[in-house]
Amino acid sequence: MQSKKNLEQIKERFPGKQINRLLSFRTNCPLSMSERLTYSFLAYRCRREGKLIAASIRKLSRLSGMHRDTISKAVHSLKEYNLSQRTSNNKWATNRPGREKYPEWFGWRTQGRDLKDIAYHYFPQPAEKSPLSIIDAMIYLADIFDPGKSNACLAGRFGITWNTVNTSRRKVAGLKYTPDWFMDIQFTQKPQRSSNKHDFLQQFQGAEKYLVSKMMATSQPAWSQQDVSRFLKIAKDHRPTTDGYDNLVYTLVGNGPSGFDAIMQVHREAGSMTDCGIGLLLYRLGLLRQQTNPPGDCF
């Protein structure tokens, strides 16, 4: 297993590149290399906010670069060993009971049975058009940071044949680092909100605050803060007096066809709360006269 100190050296050698981890398996483990890789990707790459999540075969294929048929065969094989499980939405996740059933298959750092207790090996993820396979990348990295190991030793470490190690070693011998051959770190950029929802609600009071909270809690489609602000502005513009606007708010939060359900109906029909959708809503509620803005006209 490469240490954390080696990880820093790996990142220096492969700046900005995706560094993956392969779980450590003992020589008596019957899993193939593709099954070991699939299980490792499920354990380390399929996470959200540090917690394990299920992943589709398509996502596993995209993350690993392996063919979908290879992934599909691997997850079903892992399921037979109780190492993976299929979720209700046809995705796949690791299964702890399998690790507890076959503890002798893993290279444990302690006597625990959790993922954090299993040793692992680092490797840079080859890019889609890279001439290197994942095995080539592993052998390449092993020869850099753990030189002098025999073909038999690396074959046992990665669960491959002596001949496969020898072929990869000849392929990567004297290879110079080429950035295009390895995948960049993959990020999923989170959408930026204009402001915190709680802070946004604090500017409203009473029935208006209740109305806004209900508008932002719904979906299909969801109301953004911009949608809400635009709606209230136009509503105020067409109900110039304070009493008139308050009556409008109480009408909208009421039950029945002239209440909140009507907002949702028009919102869904319009696709988004455009000015045109707001005008249609106010007209249907009898709060906007037809001669001012006929149905369907925009403000």
| pLDDT tens-digit map of 170-226 | 998 878 888 889 999 875 444 444 457 777 888 887 778 887 887 777 655 667 787
Extents of the domains making up the chain = 4-181, 197-284
| Contact (Cβ atoms closer than 8 angstroms) between residue 244 and residue 253 | no
Strands (DSSP E) found in 50-148:
51-52, 84-86, 92-94, 120-124
Distance CA 33, CA 18 (A): 20
Tell which CATH architecture fits domain 4-181.
Answer: Orthogonal Bundle (1.10)
Q: Would you state the pLDDT for residue 277?
A: 58
Q: Would you state the pLDDT for residue 288?
A: 54
Terminal Cα-to-Cα distance of the chain (whole angstroms): 66
Distance CA 210, CA 179 (A): 54
Give the 3-state secondary structure of residue 207.
helix
pLDDT tens sequence across 224-268:
787 777 777 767 766 545 556 777 677 666 644 445 555 666 656
Which residue's structure tokens are 């392996």?
66
Is the pLDDT assigned to residue 15 strictly greater than 50?
A: yes
Residue type, 220: Q
218-243 exposure pattern, b = at least 16 Cβ within 10 A, e = fewer:
eeeeebebebbebbbebbeebbeeee
Distance CA 111, CA 11 (A): 30
**What mean pLDDT comes out for the span 120-134?**
90
Distance CA 14, CA 16 (A): 6
Confidence of residue 106 (pLDDT cuts 50, 70, 90): very high
Distance CA 263, CA 6 (A): 59
| Contact (Cβ atoms closer than 8 angstroms) between residue 27 and residue 107 | no
**What mean pLDDT comes out for the span 91-95?**
92
Distance CA 36, CA 135 (A): 12
* Number of residues written out for the chain: 299
Is the pLDDT assigned to residue 129 strictly greater than 70?
A: yes
Rounding to the nearest 10 degrees, give the CA dihedral for residues 98, 100, 102, 105: 100
Distance CA 116, CA 250 (A): 55
Q: Would you state the pLDDT for residue 208?
A: 80
Confidence of residue 285 (pLDDT cuts 50, 70, 90): low
pTM for this prediction: 0.60
Residues 6+ apart with CB under 8 A from 8: none
DSSP-assigned letters across all residues of 136-196: HHHHHHHHHHSTT--HHHHHHHHT--HHHHHHHHHHHTTPPP-GGGBPBPP--PPPPPSS-
Residues 6+ apart with CB under 8 A from 158: 22, 33, 36, 121, 135, 138, 165
Distance CA 294, CA 290 (A): 5
Confidence of residue 273 (pLDDT cuts 50, 70, 90): very low
